[in-house]
């Protein structure tokens, strides 16, 4: 069964109807509680704006950070409500609880076109419970917030792609209780990922970074048989270099993954490409003294924090003729200016390929943050995903519960 979309719901009519939207508003905050990257808020606006403008009574649920299943002021959605209101150009109420007396009272008082944001859904331990009955109970409480005065059901719009790989109350269970639809964001993401897995134009290049091989192992194994080249940088490259018998100094290393990397190199050595030089430093600090060394000559006690310029050149050559590119994970500690050149150089190579007609996807998370932090043009890529983990699991061939339930 095909997934119904937001346009299907709007065609049915939403004026005066309660609509629960699961958005992904999990934005990074600084120590003062200021939003440092509003990307996910911006991405959530089209669906919410379309519903509000069509006269729906919109109730939004989302999470922020990892509270322990109880209220924690540090993870309040208050700054998100303010930022979302600015982007929508309308007041966004914030309930003082998740499904408690304040949420219920505010939901009952909504008029057509109003937007209510519930407090952090993860303040309720039932959201992430492994107990199906507990999750379902929260799902029923959420569904009740959008029920009509005559007892008619509201509707549920899944628009938080960053959480669709989670079987959680606001993602999965509520969709079993209400007529359900994919929001603009989820609809677009699924179409993009289907293109990456089914109708991929060759050559197909994959760029993987980040700290741990274990986080990307399944996607490497799955894409190694589909991609023409897999470029590996970031902290995870050092485990691959160690698998080649090289010394990596005090660089990040997953010793338990060395044998696995060795097997991957033996099996897919013609597909996997590693850095040939490394930017090493005395320690993990923005102002740490640093130098570029060949990848096979990392001194003892030195820590690799970025790929070097020769690696950028080689990776750029690999990417220059690609017709499809998937990128997930930075090449180095891009937050430190001295160690951002690798990520920026590879990103610019992907932009160059896109300019020549390649279909390029930035797989969310730190990669998307790097694009914005490094001042790169977002329209230089075909698509920037909002869900790193969800994108990876889809490309690993896993079933995503939050998508699966929309097909039911």
Catalytic residues: 40, 212, 365, 389
- Asked whether residue 273 is marked as a ligand-binding residue, the answer is no
Q: How far is CA 148 from the centre of its chain?
A: 34
- Asked whether residue 126 is marked as a ligand-binding residue, the answer is no
- Asked whether residue 64 is marked as a ligand-binding residue, the answer is yes
- Asked whether residue 104 is marked as a ligand-binding residue, the answer is no
- Asked whether residue 91 is marked as a ligand-binding residue, the answer is no
- For 314, residues 6+ apart whose C-beta sits below 8 A from its C-beta are 273, 276
- Asked whether residue 135 is marked as a ligand-binding residue, the answer is no
- Asked whether residue 365 is marked as a ligand-binding residue, the answer is yes
Take residue 183 and report the two structure tokens written for it: 């929001």
- Asked whether residue 329 is marked as a ligand-binding residue, the answer is no
Q: How many CB atoms lie within 10 A of CB 372?
A: 14
- Asked whether residue 39 is marked as a ligand-binding residue, the answer is no
State the Cα–Cα distance between residues 233 and 343, nearest whole angstrom: 9
- Asked whether residue 304 is marked as a ligand-binding residue, the answer is yes
- Asked whether residue 367 is marked as a ligand-binding residue, the answer is yes
**H/E element, 204:** strand 204-208
Take residue 229 and report the two structure tokens written for it: 């080249």
- Asked whether residue 89 is marked as a ligand-binding residue, the answer is no
What are all long-range contacts of 332-336, with beta carbons under 8 Å and residues at least 24 apart?
332/209, 332/233, 332/234, 332/279, 332/305, 332/306, 332/307, 333/284, 333/305, 333/306, 334/366, 334/370, 334/373, 334/374, 335/286, 335/373, 336/285, 336/286, 336/305
- Asked whether residue 118 is marked as a ligand-binding residue, the answer is no
- Asked whether residue 37 is marked as a ligand-binding residue, the answer is no
- Asked whether residue 356 is marked as a ligand-binding residue, the answer is no
Complete DSSP assignment for 270-328 = TTEE--SEEEEESSSSTT--EEEEETT-PPTT-EEEEE-HHHHHHHHHHHHT-SEEEEE
Q: Tokens 């999965």 label which residue?
A: 172
DSSP-derived pairing of the beta strands 303-307 and 290-294: unpaired
- Asked whether residue 335 is marked as a ligand-binding residue, the answer is yes
**Paired strand residues for 304:** 280
Residues making up the binding site for substrate: 24-26, 40, 63-66, 122, 166
Residues making up the binding site: 24-26, 40, 63-66, 122, 166, 216, 304, 335, 364-367
Residues making up the binding site for ATP: 216, 304, 335, 364-367
């Amino acid at each position: 069964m095909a997934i119904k979309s937001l346009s299907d719901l709007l065609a049915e009519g939403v004026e005066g109807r309660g609509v629960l939207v699961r958005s992904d508003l999990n934005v990074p905050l600084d120590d003062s509680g200021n939003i440092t990257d509003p990307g996910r808020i911006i991405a959530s606006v089209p669906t919410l704006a379309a519903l509000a403008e069509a006269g729906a009574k919109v109730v939004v649920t989302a999470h922020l950070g990892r509270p322990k299943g109880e209220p924690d002021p540090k993870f309040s959605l208050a700054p998100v409500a303010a930022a979302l209101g600015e982007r929508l150009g309308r007041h966004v109420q914030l309930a003082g609880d998740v499904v408690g007396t304040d949420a219920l009272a505010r939901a009952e008082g909504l008029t057509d076109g109003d937007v209510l944001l519930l407090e952090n859904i993860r303040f309720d331990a039932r959201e992430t419970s492994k107990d199906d009955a507990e999750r379902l109970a929260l799902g029923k409480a959420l569904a009740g917030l959008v029920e009509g005065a005559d007892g008619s059901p509201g509707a549920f719009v899944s628009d938080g792609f960053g959480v669709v790989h989670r079987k959680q109350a606001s993602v999965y269970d509520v969709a079993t209780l209400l007529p359900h639809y994919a929001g603009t964001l989820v609809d677009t993401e699924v179409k993009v990922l289907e293109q990456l897995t089914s109708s991929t134009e060759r050559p197909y290049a994959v760029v993987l970074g980040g700290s741990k091989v274990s986080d990307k192992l399944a996607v490497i194994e799955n894409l190694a048989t589909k991609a023409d080249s897999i470029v590996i940088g970031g902290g995870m490259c050092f485990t691959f270099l160690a698998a080649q018998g090289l010394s990596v100094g005090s660089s990040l290393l997953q010793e338990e993954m060395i044998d696995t990397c060795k097997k991957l190199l033996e099996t897919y050595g013609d597909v996997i490409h590693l850095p040939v030089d490394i930017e090493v430093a005395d320690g993990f600090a923005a102002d740490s003294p640093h130098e570029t060394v060949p990848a096979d000559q990392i001194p003892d006690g030195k820590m690799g924090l970025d790929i070097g310029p020769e690696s950028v050149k080689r990776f750029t050559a690999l990417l220059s003729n690609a017709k499809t590119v998937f990128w997930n994970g930075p090449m180095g500690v891009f937050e430190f200016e001295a160690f951002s050149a690798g990520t920026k150089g590879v990103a610019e190579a992907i932009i160059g390929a896109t300019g020549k007609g390649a279909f390029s996807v930035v797989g969310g998370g730190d990669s998307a943050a790097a694009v914005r932090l490094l001042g790169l043009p977002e329209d230089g890529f075909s698509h920037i995903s909002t869900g790193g983990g969800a994108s990876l699991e889809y490309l690993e061939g896993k079933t995503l519960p939050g998508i699966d339930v929309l097909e039911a």
